[in-house]
């Protein structure tokens, strides 16, 4: 995808720690998954309706559980001290 962003948008993204590259990758991943699901559905002669799936209670519950699991994992990562992380020398000479 090719995005053109204004200085104002860029400033807002930086201000809120929004990673545009990460967002683009997530969008591309989502689109690739949709394409793959549609291809599999076609192989089995099934019509896949994404909007219908989103409204299904089983899907909504699975998404809620996954979101809670990820939030719990993120909270644990935030609680861990950062002192254990060190940079690794890659052997390159600087200067």
> CA distances (Å), 87 to each of 3, 15, 84, 95, in order?
33, 26, 10, 18
Tell me the mean pLDDT in the region 26-42: 94
- Which tens digit of pLDDT belongs to each residue from 59-83? 888 888 988 998 888 776 666 555 5
C-alpha 71: how far from chain center: 13
At residue 62's C-alpha, the angle toward residues 43 and 37, to 5°, is: 15
Q: What pTM was estimated for this model as a whole?
A: 0.55
């Amino acid at each position: 995808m090719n995005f053109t962003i204004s200085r104002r948008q860029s400033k807002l993204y930086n201000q809120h720690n929004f990673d545009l590259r990460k967002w683009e990758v997530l969008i591309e991943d989502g689109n690739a998954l949709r394409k793959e699901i549609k291809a599999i559905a076609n192989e089995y002669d099934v019509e896949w309706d994404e909007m219908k799936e989103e409204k299904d209670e089983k899907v909504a519950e699975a998404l809620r559980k996954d979101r809670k699991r990820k939030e719990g994992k993120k909270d644990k990562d935030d609680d861990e001290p950062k002192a254990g992380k060190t940079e690794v020398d890659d052997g390159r000479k600087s200067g």
